[in-house]
């Protein structure tokens, strides 16, 4: 215990790496921490508990085991988002399911005006483009220049704006969105809802969400930095929300089920997060999430410490790229160098992004790409020498492709 207390906060505590034996196999280096982090070994036992509870309680498992577990996970998520624990948190298989519920609270025609950026994740980008085809007005703010993006977003949020949908950290280049309080204040001023995609911030970049004014919805999930695995995504619902999603499921108001259908004159919604609930879901992701949250807490790995580790690791990647003069190999750094503007990964633009992913995979180094951008994502369980070997392999593969 004494060794943990004196260890620098920008390094994982003693014993942390050993909790990932199943994923950290010899011969491979996992640098996809921005996409799919390794699961700690406790997740496997959690999967077993999901089966055991089903076998023990059968259909009573919802009241006896699952609902209390979901509430516990919601409290842990709220805490890591920087809110008080008692928040309305709705869950879904993916963020698209939850975001579309919010979108369905507004007319799918010209009465709805949405302000967003050209740097949003594919699911939101595709959905908004489809809604444009139905007449929804969408203002696309160019996300290329991150320095001027906040002011251009504020300028685009004019009276009559219904929804502002933006990322806290952008998925392609890892850049943080600056001046978030000013953006939120402008949205509140014109009566617009703010939807914040915090997926690339959750559990790695502290964001002052609790201080944002107005009607603020926050979505993210456990697939990336949280290490929950798939199918545990969430939407924070602001207090007092009375939105009525058109896309709604029978879990959204259990009280209604006791009434004869003839007496249900208007579709009702339950309080808080339940109004954004869907229908029957797989509970096993919540078993994993609860176990992983306990795992982080047990090692003292709060978001501030995870951020400190992440910054040190991404700085190490940048230093190794500079030492190798990566620019001569055609790499263009697109991730901000400034600590306060950089998220949890390093992104490089290169003409050989997809080819480098495949070449590195053959050497046991896992990275990924989005179009011409290659992403290198460290994680708190990685050793410094693994990061160094991963960057060295990248440089060697790039030199071979250039030749």
* Mean pLDDT, the chain cut into blocks of 10 residues (403 residues total): 64 96 96 94 97 97 96 97 94 97 98 98 97 98 97 98 98 96 98 98 96 97 96 96 95 77 79 93 97 98 98 98 94 96 97 96 96 96 98 96 80
Per-residue model confidence (pLDDT) at position 254? 77
Query: Which fold, 2-30+303-402?
Result: 3.90.1150
Per-residue model confidence (pLDDT) at position 402? 79
The architecture CATH gives domain 46-296:
3-Layer(aba) Sandwich (3.40)
Environment class of residue 85 by beta-carbon count within 10 Å: exposed (0-12), middle (13-18) or buried (19+)?
exposed
Per-residue model confidence (pLDDT) at position 5? 52
Per-residue model confidence (pLDDT) at position 6? 61
Number of neighbouring beta carbons within 10 Å of residue 59: 8
Per-residue model confidence (pLDDT) at position 257? 72
Rounded Cα–Cα distance for residues 85 and 268 (Å): 26
Q: In what order do the strands lie in the sheet with 233-237?
A: 88-92, 233-237, 216-221, 193-197, 163-167, 113-117, 137-141
Number of neighbouring beta carbons within 10 Å of residue 51: 11
Q: What is the pTM of this model?
A: 0.94
Residue extent(s) of CATH 3.90.1150.10 domains in the chain: 2-30+303-402
Using alpha carbons, select from 268, 291, 230 the residue that is nearest to residue 43.
291
Please answer whether residues 73 and 67 qualify as being in contact, where contact means their C-beta atoms are separated by less than 8 angstroms: no
Residue extent(s) of CATH 3.40.640.10 domains in the chain: 46-296
């Amino acid at each position: 215990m004494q060794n943990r207390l004196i260890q620098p906060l920008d390094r994982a505590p003693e014993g942390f790496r050993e909790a990932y034996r199943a994923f950290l196999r010899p011969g491979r280096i996992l640098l996809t921490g921005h996409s799919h982090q390794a699961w700690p070994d406790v997740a496997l036992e959690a999967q077993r508990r999901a089966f055991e509870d089903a076998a023990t309680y059968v259909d009573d498992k919802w009241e006896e085991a699952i609902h209390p577990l979901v509430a516990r996970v919601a409290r842990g998520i709220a805490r890591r988002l920087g809110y008080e624990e008692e928040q309305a948190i709705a869950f879904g298989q993916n963020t698209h399911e939850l975001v579309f519920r919010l979108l369905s609270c507004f007319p799918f025609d010209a009465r709805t005006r949405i302000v967003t950026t050209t740097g949003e994740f594919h699911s939101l980008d595709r959905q908004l483009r489809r809604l444009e085809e139905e007449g929804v007005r969408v203002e696309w703010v160019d996300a290329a220049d991150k320095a001027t993006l906040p002011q251009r977003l504020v300028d685009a949020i004019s009276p009559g704006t219904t929804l502002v949908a933006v990322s806290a950290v952008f998925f392609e280049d890892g850049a943080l969105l600056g001046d978030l309080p000013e953006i939120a204040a402008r949205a509140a001023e014109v009566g617009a809802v703010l939807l914040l995609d915090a997926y690339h911030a959750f559990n790695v970049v502290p964001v002052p969400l609790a201080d944002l004014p107005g009607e603020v919805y926050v979505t993210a999930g456990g697939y990336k930095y949280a290490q929950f695995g798939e199918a545990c995504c969430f939407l924070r619902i602001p207090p007092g929300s009375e939105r009525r999603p058109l896309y709604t499921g029978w879990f959204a108001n259990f009280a209604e089920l006791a009434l004869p259908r003839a007496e249900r004159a208007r579709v009702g919604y339950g309080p808080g997060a339940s109004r954004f609930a869907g229908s029957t879901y797989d509970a096993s992701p919540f078993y994993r999430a609860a176990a992983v949250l306990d795992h982080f807490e047990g090692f003292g790995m709060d978001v501030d410490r995870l951020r400190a580790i992440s910054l040190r690791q991404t700085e190490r990647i940048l230093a190794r790229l500079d030492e190798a003069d990566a620019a001569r190999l055609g790499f263009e750094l697109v991730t901000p160098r400034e600590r306060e503007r950089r998220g949890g990964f390093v992104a490089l633009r290169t003409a050989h992004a997809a080819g480098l992913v495949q070449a590195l995979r053959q050497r046991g180094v896992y990275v990924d790409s989005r179009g011409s951008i290659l992403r290198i994502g460290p994680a708190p369980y990685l050793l410094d020498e693994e990061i160094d070997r991963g960057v060295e392999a990248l440089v060697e593969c790039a030199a071979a492709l250039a030749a």
